[in-house]
Chains A and B, each alone.
Chain A
């Protein structure tokens, strides 16, 4: 309540800013501790009293304690622990009985938990999958003690690599074990029948035969086994089973089960598959360039958010209509449906703390939130029709109410030409000096040209002379000879009187090691002492950087610094291959003493 009142007094102060906003800040609680995502949020009139509640499948602070929370207004009404992490939450009408209170379905692990009136009502488990007959056979042999654990392990590994039917959980656990634990595990588990069960990844609802608000719905489940199941909501029998080439993660449903329906499933392989009634396999496939992060249907357009920070619009037949680029990564997406104005738009929660609302390609509105939003839900909450519920990354809860008078206009959030066009080019100004100079150039152009050319000749000559001299005495730290590609640089560390001198030597050839190199230091022996002034270099492997360190001790007590020369020589040749000059710093240790 404290948070609500403070935000309210804020809104009193910033009234002018508030006036042009389309949203009313109803509630902000940064400590709400709700960690969930859009698929696990659902709004429904759970008690049939016209007061809509928010159902949250909460993962818990570290994804540790899954809980089912039901919120009424800004407060949590009930909270109950869940057996496993929730995958999706949905509310639907199961039957025609009065009062028409919707049931709440929560997919978690291989089960769908159905709650009515907030009490556990039914638990639907996915049917078991047929196990691999070879695997079954092996375990039967183990049961009769005709096979020892080691051979069982080898055979199972063989099956795992070759067979197309994956192994059961039991066999996979067995394969993980150490030798010592195997015997006990086999004895314990050999009598049990092996089972293969899959997990629900996504869930949605589909109207059964009527398209009305209060019609009976079916549940549509997507499983880890690359299947879509349509469940009858009264009897919990499987009405239809469809298979997909990949694991579905987002599901979008339209139509009615008995008449005609379309299922769009965004899968982990980055494709979206569109299925229709009576098609066991996908009819159309939309290939995205990146993984989908959300799937929303707006009228007849499928809007997909991708990990490349963009929204794409597709028709149901897989034709691309448009692409909009986002300024940050998309964290979540959901549908905004304003019934009174017949508006359907897509909301996208971005990583920079914005929530953007798009109608087709046009940006309608941007909401800035104090923290990045991870789940979004728009609909009737409490007694207010147009409520937007957001939960943040840190577990906060934000509730905003759309003003009655607010109209989303296209182009409302549009900006004009990019701001870069308004900035002036940084062209430097010319002064009188420049003009005088050009005048002189115009008058004495010939003389200037001649003098410059003569100077250039001299410069070239001197550069060539110096270069030849450097090559002759091998002064350069990079060897120019193609036969011996080498690179050398030296680093001095420390304050003195002892310095650490590190030579970095590198063979820059592609694939030829260099053998038999020597390093020799030339220095004034009155000023510096080196433990070894001459040593052998190890074999230089191409590409690696060899740091060769020595310690240099400054002997002078007068703060004199001198040059130390490093020569890299080849064994048996007196001419150095390359050399470096190191300007030794003044020894500060002596200066202080």
Chain B
């Protein structure tokens, strides 16, 4: 990978553009995660609940991501499906400390996976079991169990425990996502 990076850097190739959908319930930390993935000079200081959706860009080592940061509030969740066509990858964020709404997250994930625009496409899904720093957070293994992630058979998926405020676990997830996208492309 390092070699490839250096090669593309030397050749001054333009990085590939990828559209990513960032989904999850409200207050799960979607905007914070995306903010943390931006270069440090572009990060915003305070994060407010997203209204509708917003578009953000960040770069990984070899890809340039365009993220549709959707609002997770109940009344805006019906907007999600309008962007399913554009999405080449999905980041699904879960608040690990909110055990009560894990069923709601599962329900939204099930409707997402059964949507005609998503169902037959082999797009990678990255799960962030966010807010790992909180005391009553459950582990990423438990989250994957509660969401029945083992039932996803036709799509590559990966779950990372993350702490979006400190930025822990984010890089691992993005690296996995980049590998998957490149594997699909080639």
Contact = CB atoms under 8 A, between A and B. Distances in A.
Q: Do A and B share a complex?
A: yes
A503 B47 CA distance: 94
B104 A401 contact: yes
B146 A24 contact: no
A407 interface: no
Q: In which size bucket is the chain A interface?
A: 20 to 34
Given A74-B100, A401-B101, A383 B26 contact: yes
B75 A384 contact: no
B111 A382 contact: no
B103 A11 contact: yes
B103 A73 contact: no
B98 A25 contact: no
Interface in A368-383: 381-383
A73 B111 contact: no
A337 to B, nearest CB: 15
A24 B100 CA distance: 10
Interface string B34-70: 0000000000000000000000000000000000000
A78 B83 CA distance: 43
Contact of B146 (A8, A74, A382, A403): A8
B146 A404 contact: no
B104 A4 contact: no
Given A12-B148, A405-B111, A383 B101 contact: yes
B99 A8 contact: no
B81 to A, nearest CB: 11
Nearest to B108: A404
A5 B145 contact: yes
Contacts of A399: 100
B74 interface: yes
Contacts of A25: 103
Interface in B71-104: 74-75, 77-78, 98-104
Given A8-B146, A340-B74, A24 B107 contact: yes
A26 B77 contact: no
Nearest to B27: A383
Given A5-B146, A385-B74, A73 B99 contact: yes
Contacts of B107: 24, 403-404
Contacts of B77: 404
B100 A382 contact: yes
A74 B99 CA distance: 8
- Between A74, A75, A404, the greatest number of chain B beta carbons within 10 A of the residue's beta carbon is seen for A404
A50 B49 CA distance: 12
Interface string A247-291: 000000000000000000000000000000000000000000000
Contacts of B27: 50, 383
A167 B98 CA distance: 55
A8 B106 CA distance: 10
A384 B100 contact: yes
B27 to A, nearest CB: 6
Given A1-B99, A8-B146, A383-B27, A24 B74 contact: no
A27 interface: yes
A8 B25 CA distance: 18
A340 B77 CA distance: 13
A74 B101 CA distance: 10
A192 to B, nearest CB: 52
Interface in A71-105: 73-75
Contact of A4 (B26, B78, B99, B111): B99
Nearest to A24: B103
A404 B74 contact: yes
A239 to B, nearest CB: 37
Nearest to A19: B110
Interface in A23-41: 24-27
Nearest to B148: A12
Contacts of A405: 111
Interface in B98-137: 98-104, 106-108, 111, 136
A232 to B, nearest CB: 35
18 contacts: A5-B142, A8-B102, A8-B103, A11-B103, A24-B103, A24-B107, A26-B104, A27-B99, A73-B99, A74-B99, A74-B100, A340-B75, A383-B27, A383-B101, A399-B100, A401-B103, A401-B104, A404-B104
Interface of B: 25-27, 74-75, 77-78, 98-104, 106-108, 111, 136, 138, 142, 145-146, 148, 151
A-B residue pairs, 10 tightest by C-beta: A24-B103, A73-B100, A12-B148, A26-B103, A26-B100, A382-B100, A383-B27, A8-B146, A24-B107, A404-B74
Interface of A: 1, 4-5, 8, 11-12, 24-27, 50, 73-75, 340, 381-385, 399, 401, 403-405
Given A383-B27, A404-B104, 4 more contacts: A25-B103, A27-B99, A382-B100, A404-B108
